[in-house]
Structure 1
Amino acid sequence: MATQVLNKGVTRRRFLSGMIAASAASVVGTSLLAPRKAMAATDTKATFTGEVLSGSHWGAFRAKVVNGVWVDTVPFEKDKHPTTMINGVREVVYNPARVKYPMVRIDWLKHGFKSDTAQRGDNRFVRVPWSQALDFFYHEMERVQNNYGPSALYAGHTGWQSVGKLHNAGTMMKRGIGLHGTTLGKMGDYSTGAAQVILPYVAGAMEVYEQQTSWPLVLEHSDTIVIWGSDPIKNLQVGWLVPDHSPYAYYDQLAEKVKKGEIKVIFVDPVVTDTQKTVGGEQVRVNPQTDVPLMLAIAHTLYSENLYNKEFLADYTTGFDKFLPYLLGKTDGVEKTPEWAEKICGVKADEIRALARQMASGRTQIIGGWCLQRMQHGEQYAWMLVVVAAMLGQIGLPGGGFGFGWHYNDAGSITSNGPLMSGFSGVTGVPPIHNGSYNGYSTFIPVARFVDCIKHPGTTIKYNGQNVKFPVMKMAIFSGNNPFHHHQDRNNMIEAWQKLETVVSIDTSGQQLVASQISFYQQRLRTSVTISNSTVTTLMQVSLPCRRLLNQCTNQKMTSKSSVSFAVVTTVKKPSQAVRHKWN
């Protein structure tokens, strides 16, 4: 391949060599599908037989390999509550949808960025050599950067399936593409898009990804646990890193305490969850998307029956005096009584009052899920839950307060002091080849608005207190990620996709292949089932897809017919003692 000189004296060969060097650290350890001596030869028959200890978002496991073939998956013996989800990791390796080679949509192969984009989804793909695929990738980035600038190149979408430190899709995307040039980035995520923006203003921290109170404190001190739109028993199967599933032992203890009447557990949910089936307790069947009216009625009961903590509100919060007129109907003429809420949320007024009294009768922990903030005005649910917790006045006390991450990442486990390997950083310290002007457009877009950006360039929206102007997007790169799985409104997406000139997908399977122009495969797994390595790996390391195993994490935009707006509400100022208790 001829060496081409780039801006600032950086050659294309040097650029690609830098990417390969950044990937080299992952070529270590025992091979899963081939002996180590065969790593450089893709046509060498694999003969390794034995077990490979590895990890995934669903827990640690041992892969049993016979003559280079992964034949069985056995849970790690130290995991006392393994999940059957780990069996799906092997499926990814041998799935017919596995992309084994670089592939290009045939019309794009013929006409490049001037291809007929209306054929996306119907047009077949053809295999091309690595050198040709990399040329296409590189020259397209050059074309877009030189002709339009960084605002036209979107490289914000990455997946999180990989648990490794050396091959995280997001980190390696930033590292690889960042060496070439600055790009249009994304802000936020689909999991907690509304809550993560509002809660820093309400509670002083993002909360959704914070450490939760340890379960031993909750089991010792809590009288009531309200699980609001959350299903920890189901969702704790998955973690950001490799979960050890230790919280399940605490849920067994909780079930015993519920059976003995020592702790009362109340589920506010339209459905019977796995957690309710496991733990037992009572259910408040609220109509979907009407949780805020129910919370407002609880707050009204706490206030009208003098069950709220005046001292806590005065000492540690601001804004209650602005919220109270709305609650009492003085600002809009609608008092938020239990009778008012009953007509909206379907919960009887007497049941609402009983719930409020139960929560105020002793130490109460409120466990809030993420699903309720995945809707229009979703920030109001998270905001109002903190208001109720503040009125109870138990934030910071052992077993009291609130949490939004109880269903995730081994939440409630006692903090470990074990070391964590830092891995690669997305920041290289090397100036990018291209660092042009954004031409008045924003440097980022909210992740859930990227389709709107494609369809309506030049539009200005409000996001987190600032104006965001949509650029004209020409090229998009996706790494270990399938936006057609977790974004809303497929028909709208298909229409928008036709406006993009080039789409590059870097993944292990063809889930998004039909929507792409160029697709790079991940070579057979070299080190373990969670470390995906290729001798070239396009421009970054990426990971195994986890979408089929994580349906509960999909984002769906829903419009509530009975959404309730409320004005400035309580902001919690945590006392030092409260912080010490809460993060114990």
Structure 2
Amino acid sequence: MANDVKTVYKSLGLCGFGLGSNSAAVDVKDGKILRIRPMHYDDAYDIEDMRPWRIEVNGAVLEPKDKTMPTPLQYAYKKRVYSKNRIPYPLKRVDWDPNGDRHPETRGISKYERISWDEATDIIASELKRIHAQYGPLAVLAQVDGHGESKIIHAAHGCPGKLLDLMGGYTLQARQPDSWEGWTWGAKHIWGMDPVGKQGNVQNLFQDIAENGDAVLYWGADPETTPWGWGGMQPGRLVRWLHDVGLKSIFISPDLNYTGAAHEGKWIPILPNTDAALHCAIAYVWIKEDTYDKDYLATHSVGFEDFKNYIMGGEDGVPKTPKWAAPITGITERQIKALARYWAKHVVSIAHCAGGGLIRAAYSSEPARLEVALLAMQGLGKPGAGQINFMDWGLFGIDEIYPLPRSACQPDLSSIYNGWAMLTYPVNFIPKTLIPQAIMNPPVKWRGGHVIAGLPAEDQVVEWDFPHDGDYELHMIWTDSPCWQTCWNGGYEMQRALQHPNLEFILAQHPWLENDCLFADIILPTTTKLEVRDISADLFSGQYNMLMHEEQAIPHVGESLSDFEAVGEVAKKLGLYEEYVGGTEDELIRKGFDNSGVQDMVSYEEFMEKGYYVVPTAEDWEDDPRGMRPFYDDPQANPLLTPTGLIEFKSTLLEQFFPDDEERPPVPHFVPYGESHSESLLHPRAEEYPFLLVTNHPRWRVHAQNDDNTWCREIETCKVKGPDGYMYEPIWVNPKDAVVLGLKDGDIVKMYNERGAVLGGIRLSERVIPHAIYQDHGARVDTIVLGELDRAGANNLICPSNTTSKNAPGEVTNSFLVNLEKVDVFELARQYPEAFDHAYEAETGQIAIDKIVEGA
């Protein structure tokens, strides 16, 4: 490439928690991004020195490539960096006066005016001092959690907490285990696994499954899509390789997702929220036909007789037969029996990719527990049988959740990480799922401890409340993750909460003017990771781990500062700058390297000269234990993290603390509806709302990130162009349902329930089961009527507000009841002219800044 082109290396994770992600090379000329492309390991290292691993089974070879494998979202990221939605300079809401009327009722409606960084930080510092003096530090809610770019020193999702700690504390919005709710609130009570409660030990598991397994059940899993924002293309390679080895692929989900469509196998369509019924029916067949491993259960489990009693109908008089499950699940009795019998005769594993939609639905604790029960009934941990995850290798640097050949080291940058998203020990906190209630209707109480993944199951029985012991209610929010409405549960309720008069000041910092930013009183523009220098790691490629020195690729866009720098400007006004920064950028990079774990493998000088260090594969990786094999071989020597050390078909903790909880009983059940939820076709409410909405991770976004990427929006499956030229979020509808509804492909509809409505564009497809409809989650908010109607299809706005169940404060953002109704968008435009003359360009999704900022 020409000499005037500069190449920098970036761990280009768009959802990384600072843990690192699949890396890429960024070619820059004259301060502008030319392109983003794979990074070749052998540009700086001899491949043999990296000790490349190789697994060959039945003639099919799996081995790392000599380059990284970014996804299309990462290639296209320059369009996100240069989006017109970037916040160009600090903004203040025009009718918010810190010395007068604050007008909380117009948040989300008001326009903004440009102010300087100096004026913005003066106001912020003054407000912090005032609120501390009037209410105390705990009246400030720090929303410093969520998915974001994999930055370390300049990390989002935490820097405000670092400053607020120096000021005496704050109230933390405690992060939920959102991608694995059911595992945390359910599976942890049957097999006790940590750090995130969603899977067992999967170390070295892919080789074991390939050598000894017969089939993989992709249960709600879409490895070709879910990891795109933080991993790379390796998951898709793994699905193909397992097929080439000779394993059967079986896809169980309401929709034939991209993995199911792109790979050979069998699709078993199932109605949303009914997986637990299928689990129960499979268990019934095994018990009835005596095809489960009784010897294993006798030595590796407790409580099976109680579980058997429920399955066979002894508890409630209803045997959980395939005939019982067929009308519930939409799967024929014959198919259920065939699946159960095949599984009983073959070595079968279950694959997930962050759990799928069933793990974020109502009562998701139950399918998570029942899945483990089925694995246990067939000898969990025996050669070739386990539960695998196609996403989380490298997570937290824990070898036990690394199913591929292990690297000699997983670089650790926690010594300088400024993102506090995973903080687990605050004194004052509120579960993210309860934030609207905590703002509008305090006090709130919950059972579930700190609600953050990774803590022992015993933490879930602790009672908490907010406010606590006379503390003040919330009066300020400081958010560096302004995406509550479209990334969490019950978003319309959050819109109302953000207008509550108790909230005297809302401060947001973000690169893009979108979603919750439009409810803030002050908005600070922050950078993307391509605009900062940093040190980072690549832990998610599934190939090699790397430590990287990330040079700054381009100048800051507009007046943006990094999150670390933005908070630092406030720290200066408070006289806390030196304590806040903790050293120069050079000093912090060196400190990160010296504590990374690779400092004895390569010199700092060589690391800086080459720009990255590829950690070799561990020499002894083939000797690592394989998945749950140690527990299978000797459960006494290798106990689980349950109270008994065994698989608990009847949970010791739940029986002790929640013996009468019908929504999460001591023995796992199929719970279609109950006190907290009625999101079931079996409930009378389904007469008015006859469809279950499936909302998976999007293919062309990462949650709400990338919705303004014009390259992606050109793809037919990304958006549906309406008659008004607006690009609507697709809603997949089975043709049989469309006939009843009188809909055709391309129609614009209102999707609604009693909580509100969002619009979408119809895509007719047999890739979704009748009585279910499909729309990706994460479309950015584009309000027509605040608290009632959204144009862009941000379906989390109409999710349930209640949590997983009454004693499990997780999110419910999938598989809920809705109805569809065709709309005339031109009539809506006449009815709501101001909303339709909005700030977003119809086709590109790019912002017209002059319609939001006065005088722009």
Query: Same fold by TM (over 0.5)?
Result: yes
Correspondence for 2:52: none
Aligned CA-pair RMSD: 3.2
Correspondence for 1:386: 372
Correspondence for 1:517: 521
Correspondence for 2:140: 153
Q: Structure 1 residue aligned with 2:152, among 165, 168, 183?
A: 165
TM-score normalised per structure 1: 0.77
Residue 492 of structure 1 deviates from its aligned partner by 1.6
Aligned counterparts of 1:497 and 1:564: Cα–Cα separation in 2: 25
Alignment of 1:88-167 (within 5 A): 88-109=76-97, 111=99, 114-167=101-154
Correspondence for 1:536: 565
Deviations 1:83-107 (A, max 9, x none): 1111332123211111122211122
Aligned counterparts of 1:559 and 1:124: Cα–Cα separation in 2: 30
Aligned counterparts of 1:363 and 1:443: Cα–Cα separation in 2: 47
Report 1 or 2 for greater relative contact order, CA contacts < 8 Å, sequence distance ≥ 6.
1
Aligned counterparts of 1:151 and 1:52: Cα–Cα separation in 2: 42
Q: Which blocks of at least 5 consecutive residues in structure 2 are unaligned?
A: 15-21, 41-65, 395-401, 420-425, 449-459, 468-472, 534-551, 569-579, 582-700, 708-774, 779-794, 807-856
Local SS of the residue matching 2:479: strand
Correspondence for 1:4: none
- Aligned partners of 2:152 and 2:417 also within 8 Å: no
> Relative to 1, partners in 2 of residues 1:326 and 1:558: Cα closer, same or farther, differing over 3 Å?
farther
Residue 346 of structure 1 deviates from its aligned partner by 0.9
Deviations 1:103-153 (A, max 9, x none): 1112223546x5011111121112222222122222222222332234321
Write the letter of the residue equivalent to 1:502.
F
Q: Does 1:358 align with 2:359?
A: no
- Structure 1 range deviating more: 209-218 or 272-281: 209-218
Alignment of 1:155-304 (within 5 A): 155-185=142-172, 186-205=174-193, 206-208=196-198, 212-213=202-203, 214-239=205-230, 243=231, 245-257=233-245, 262-304=246-288
Write the letter of the residue equivalent to 2:134.
N
Write the letter of the residue equivalent to 2:165.
G
Correspondence for 1:306: 290
Residue 297 of structure 1 deviates from its aligned partner by 0.6
- Aligned partners of 2:93 and 2:111 also within 8 Å: yes
Q: Does 1:416 align with 2:407?
A: yes
Correspondence for 2:705: 548
Aligned counterparts of 1:315 and 1:191: Cα–Cα separation in 2: 32
Local SS of the residue matching 1:536: helix
Local SS of the residue matching 2:108: coil
Local SS of the residue matching 1:547: coil
Q: Structure 2 residue aligned with 1:469, among 465, 470, 473?
A: 465
- Aligned partners of 1:97 and 1:510 also within 8 Å: yes
Correspondence for 2:324: 340
Alignment of 1:403-482 (within 5 A): 403=388, 405-409=389-393, 412-424=403-415, 443-463=428-448, 464-471=460-467, 472-482=473-483
> Relative to 1, partners in 2 of residues 1:415 and 1:302: Cα closer, same or farther, differing over 3 Å?
same
> Relative to 1, partners in 2 of residues 1:253 and 1:155: Cα closer, same or farther, differing over 3 Å?
same
Write the letter of the residue equivalent to 2:229.
V
- Aligned partners of 2:189 and 2:369 also within 8 Å: no
Q: Structure 2 residue aligned with 1:319, among 295, 303, 308?
A: 303
Write the letter of the residue equivalent to 2:121.
L
Residue 198 of structure 1 deviates from its aligned partner by 2.9
Aligned counterparts of 1:398 and 1:479: Cα–Cα separation in 2: 45
Aligned counterparts of 2:383 and 2:131: Cα–Cα separation in 1: 55
Aligned counterparts of 2:371 and 2:106: Cα–Cα separation in 1: 47
Aligned counterparts of 1:274 and 1:182: Cα–Cα separation in 2: 45
Residue 80 of structure 1 deviates from its aligned partner by 5.8
Correspondence for 1:571: none
Correspondence for 1:29: none
Residue 48 of structure 1 deviates from its aligned partner by 7.6
Local SS of the residue matching 2:228: coil
- Aligned partners of 2:8 and 2:26 also within 8 Å: yes
- Structure 1 range deviating more: 202-211 or 458-467: 202-211
Aligned counterparts of 1:397 and 1:311: Cα–Cα separation in 2: 13
Write the letter of the residue equivalent to 2:407.
S
> Relative to 1, partners in 2 of residues 1:88 and 1:453: Cα closer, same or farther, differing over 3 Å?
farther
Correspondence for 2:362: 376
Correspondence for 2:613: none
- Aligned partners of 2:217 and 2:250 also within 8 Å: yes
- Aligned partners of 1:507 and 1:521 also within 8 Å: yes
Write the letter of the residue equivalent to 1:478.
T
- Aligned partners of 2:38 and 2:68 also within 8 Å: no
- Aligned partners of 2:38 and 2:69 also within 8 Å: no
- Structure 1 range deviating more: 247-256 or 85-94: 247-256
- Aligned partners of 2:28 and 2:553 also within 8 Å: no
Correspondence for 2:744: none
Residue 60 of structure 1 deviates from its aligned partner by 1.9
Report how many residues are paired. 493
- Aligned partners of 2:152 and 2:416 also within 8 Å: no
Aligned counterparts of 1:478 and 1:564: Cα–Cα separation in 2: 27
- Aligned partners of 1:451 and 1:496 also within 8 Å: yes
Aligned counterparts of 1:193 and 1:398: Cα–Cα separation in 2: 28
> Relative to 1, partners in 2 of residues 1:399 and 1:181: Cα closer, same or farther, differing over 3 Å?
farther
- Aligned partners of 2:154 and 2:564 also within 8 Å: no
Local SS of the residue matching 1:496: helix
Correspondence for 1:68: 31
Aligned counterparts of 1:200 and 1:340: Cα–Cα separation in 2: 28
Residue 409 of structure 1 deviates from its aligned partner by 5.0
Aligned counterparts of 1:107 and 1:380: Cα–Cα separation in 2: 48
Residue 76 of structure 1 deviates from its aligned partner by 2.3
Residue 264 of structure 1 deviates from its aligned partner by 1.6
Write the letter of the residue equivalent to 2:301.
T
Aligned counterparts of 1:406 and 1:424: Cα–Cα separation in 2: 28
> Relative to 1, partners in 2 of residues 1:109 and 1:389: Cα closer, same or farther, differing over 3 Å?
same
Percent same amino acid among aligned pairs? 23
- Structure 1 range deviating more: 328-337 or 151-160: 151-160
> Relative to 1, partners in 2 of residues 1:137 and 1:211: Cα closer, same or farther, differing over 3 Å?
farther
Write the letter of the residue equivalent to 1:54.
K
Residue 208 of structure 1 deviates from its aligned partner by 3.0
Write the letter of the residue equivalent to 2:517.
L
- Structure 1 range deviating more: 71-80 or 115-124: 71-80
Q: Structure 2 residue aligned with 1:501, among 482, 500, 504?
A: 504
Residue 53 of structure 1 deviates from its aligned partner by 1.8
Aligned counterparts of 1:536 and 1:178: Cα–Cα separation in 2: 17
Deviations 1:184-234 (A, max 9, x none): 121424322342233332212134377635322221111121111111122
Aligned counterparts of 1:425 and 1:215: Cα–Cα separation in 2: 33
Correspondence for 2:387: 402
- Aligned partners of 1:254 and 1:279 also within 8 Å: no
Aligned counterparts of 2:229 and 2:527: Cα–Cα separation in 1: 25
Aligned counterparts of 1:280 and 1:253: Cα–Cα separation in 2: 12
Local SS of the residue matching 2:225: helix
> Relative to 1, partners in 2 of residues 1:89 and 1:226: Cα closer, same or farther, differing over 3 Å?
same
> Relative to 1, partners in 2 of residues 1:399 and 1:48: Cα closer, same or farther, differing over 3 Å?
same
- Aligned partners of 1:161 and 1:545 also within 8 Å: no
Local SS of the residue matching 1:326: helix
Residue 496 of structure 1 deviates from its aligned partner by 0.9
Residue 498 of structure 1 deviates from its aligned partner by 0.9
> Relative to 1, partners in 2 of residues 1:320 and 1:139: Cα closer, same or farther, differing over 3 Å?
farther
